[in-house]
Chain A
Amino acid sequence: MSLMINAPFVEKVLTRFIRDELAKFGFKKGILGLSGGLDSSVCAALAARALGPANVLGLIMPCGDAFPADVRDAERVGRALGIRTKTIDIAPQVEAYFTAHRTKNRRLRGNKMARERMSILYDYSAREKALILGTSNKTELLIGYGTIHGDMACAINPMGDLYKTQVRQLARHLGLPASMIRKAPTAGLWPGQTDETEIGLTYAELDEILENIVEKGKSAADLVKTGFKPAAVRRVREMIRCSEFKRKMPPIAKLSPRSVGHDFLYPYDWGK
């Protein structure tokens, strides 16, 4: 594996990034969803170092009492970092909807939950004048393992260029507890779900395939020749291809000579 990072240097870049971005857009505070998992814990730790713990608000948003251990982990991380936390149970709003629109489909329920959390984050962002920090990592972004307009929604994303295995390295450097780094990653859509069983590959395997495709520009044939399982390579390439829509703004039907997104091209940081 050549995905080793110099974690202290990455911390330096990302804390500056968080500080700069907030300053540019006139914010002092950051807000994020705390799931009790690794990515949001690492992001909270970076934000606490960048902005000072008092300027970070972690929203813990369980759905009823489905994942008590994760809630405890999220609270523990919040306490350890000294950031503010607030717990909001999303069950009433989720159940109000599914009482009227019944389904047994776990994925529909899970996506709805992710979007309820998003709507609460945006509401609290405005109430608290706090900018939303995204916690999607590069592995998830590449394979599209996230809910569009749900957990993928944010104002800035400090984590999006770090593979999951690199997030683990950063977590170790930031002093997060070993139990949290070892914990099986889960999207928390239903009890017992883990990323690795659902994706069908461990993060180590997945990141190695992604590294070869994305960083080294290897073809599927190259990968199979060097010993990767053809089915795994095929699956990863398909996941990347099928999730491009989650990484883009939606296409705008072009009519005029100068259209938003096509040839009206201004930087994000315009005048910032």
Chain B
Amino acid sequence: MKIALAQIAPRLGALERNRDLHLEYMERARREKADLVVFPELSLTGYTLKDLAAEVALDPRTDPLFRKIMARSRGLSVVLGFMEEAAEEKGLFYNSVAFLSDGKILHVHRKVFLPTNGMFEEAKFFAQGRDLRTFPTPFGKAGLLICRDFLHYGASYVLYAGGADMIITVSAAPGRGVGGGEAFESSRMWELMGEAISSFSTAFVVYVNRVGSEDGVSFAGGSFVYGPDGRLLARAAYLDPEFRVLSLDLTAVREARTKRLFKRDEKPDIILRSLERVVRVPDD
């Protein structure tokens, strides 16, 4: 299969403009024969929404703007970020990511870990997601995470235990630290996690971060794909927009799992029992 990493800079609160940007990049993906195109976190709305969250939130099942993107996903799969307000949960705004395929929604993941410290204010404005799960796609089982979700490795573990062949993280990670090399120092943190998770879950790890700046904060870019053997397959530019298309050999998951037997020997039942005890009796 061919995957396209759409490392874009959405415009804050400008839904129509961002929709057009998505349609444009989806066309480009189609032209370059990509099967799946992945956009960053909150790609439809921009990240630093604050009170704008209520104004740009939508129900993906009924919203005309979202449905237009869905309609254009015929013969293509698309992962995109948006602010979700479901009809049955009015007034709750979720930082969500959807997996669209061939005109249908296959899955919506709501961000579980909402950073709320220092420069981050997510839990002040957004409702918290409460579920992590894998779902079937045309490219095997996949799992979706949003930015900070990926830094809590238990989240990736659930997707791995759930049989994910591909863990897709969408991100709006700001760059911090300029004492290092040709990237923000914070970029290393994501790459480290990408390498570790792909190696030990023997699954593809796809990470798409945004670029551009909002309210003085620059987003770091540096989107990447690691193969199931923990090898870096592609990394997009730091800071600058990029549209990177690459081929993934899906048989690599089987190959990795026959060489390294972590998946076969995994014991989620023991992990679960132990976790239940930790949660029930934290001091145990």
A4 within 8 A of B: yes
Say yes or no: B239 contacts A16, CB within 8 Å: yes
Say yes or no: A6 contacts B181, CB within 8 Å: yes
* Chain A at the B interface: SS class: loop
Against A, the Cβ 8 Å flags (1 = close, 0 = not) of B1-27 are: 000000000011110000000000000
* Size category of the binding interface on chain B: 20 to 34
A8 to B51, CA, bound (A): 36
Contact of B212 among A5, A20, A156, A270 (CB under 8 A): A20
Given contacts A6-B179, A9-B183, contact A267 B12 (CB under 8 A): yes
A10 to B183, CA, bound (A): 9
Provide the residues of chain B in CB contact with A264, threshold 8 Å. Answer: 51
What residue of chain B has the Cβ atom nearest to residue A24's Cβ? B11
B52 within 8 A of A: yes
B230 within 8 A of A: no
A113 to B180, CA, bound (A): 40
A267 to B214, CA, bound (A): 8
A270 to B215, CA, bound (A): 9
Contact of B179 among A2, A12, A270 (CB under 8 A): A2
Closest-CB distance, B175 to chain A (whole angstroms): 7
* Size category of the binding interface on chain A: 20 to 34
Provide the residues of chain B in CB contact with A208, threshold 8 Å. Answer: none
Contact of B218 among A5, A17, A269 (CB under 8 A): A17
* Chain B at the A interface: SS class: loop
A197 to B31, CA, bound (A): 65
What residue of chain B has the Cβ atom nearest to residue A158's Cβ? B216
Say yes or no: A269 contacts B183, CB within 8 Å: no
Against B, the Cβ 8 Å flags (1 = close, 0 = not) of A253-272 are: 00000000000111111111
Provide the residues of chain B in CB contact with A270, threshold 8 Å. Answer: 12-13, 52
- CB contacts under 8 Å to A, within B159-202, are 175, 178-184
Against B, the Cβ 8 Å flags (1 = close, 0 = not) of A3-44 are: 111101110110011001100000000000000000000000
Say yes or no: A265 contacts B178, CB within 8 Å: no
* Chain B residues engaging chain A, CB cutoff 8 angstroms: 11-14, 46, 48-52, 175, 178-184, 212-216, 218, 239-240
Of the A-B pairs whose beta carbons lie under 8 Å apart in the complex, a sample of 27, sorted by A's number, is A5-B179, A6-B178, A8-B182, A9-B178, A9-B180, A10-B178, A13-B178, A13-B184, A16-B213, A16-B240, A17-B213, A17-B218, A20-B212, A20-B213, A264-B51, A265-B50, A265-B51, A266-B51, A267-B13, A267-B49, A267-B50, A267-B214, A269-B48, A270-B52, A271-B11, A271-B12, A271-B13
* Chain A residues engaging chain B, CB cutoff 8 angstroms: 2-6, 8-10, 12-13, 16-17, 20-21, 156, 264-272
